[in-house]
Amino acid sequence: MIVFEERIEQLIGQVPLIETFKTHFYWGNGSKDVNLYLTLSDQPYPFVFLTTGQETSKGNFKETRRNCKFIIACQEEITDKINTQRMLDSYRNVLNPLADYMIEIFDTSSISRLNNGYKLQRIPNYSDKTGENYAIAKWDVILLEVDLSINDNCLNNIQWQ
């Protein structure tokens, strides 16, 4: 059986350093899982969080498909920063390059394939004090939604340009 989260973790593990930081991967059901991860991690940023979802297979069990929602986050403690400054600091330097790497790796790796492109949304100051986005930290994020197929091939090393 293909374990989707394990395969995604392998892919994210090949993403180059972002401003000298390794990208971390975690997955779960929502804010409770994210907050647990944040409290247990020394340097959790930037991180990619995959929300839980349902996988389908056509019967040969060598490939599985899933509609994925990724939260790509970096910490931003200054909540009153204007969006043009956030674009320069959080998005240009960290989040946009990380989203680009993820889209490229999903579409070109030996174990994954993007089906029907992607949807991307930039949300500055994403976390709030209540509701579905509740988090113990303040973030700028990119929400990346993809219909992704994962197979059981060996993962080849990605050669980044």
Residue boundaries of the structural domains of the chain: 4-151
User: What confidence score (pLDDT) does residue 115 get?
Assistant: 95
Query: Is the pLDDT at 131 greater than 60, yes or no?
Result: no
Tokens for 44? 């959790």
- Over the stretch 89-123, which tens digit does the pLDDT of each residue have? 889 999 999 999 999 999 999 999 999 999 999 98
Please give the full DSSP string across 78-121, using - where no structure is assigned: -TT--HHHHIIIIIIIIIHHHHHHHHHHHHHSSSEEEEEEEEEE
Average pLDDT, the chain: 86
Place of tokens 């996988």: 55
More confident residue, 95 or 128: 95
Q: What number does CATH give the domain 4-151?
A: 3.30.70
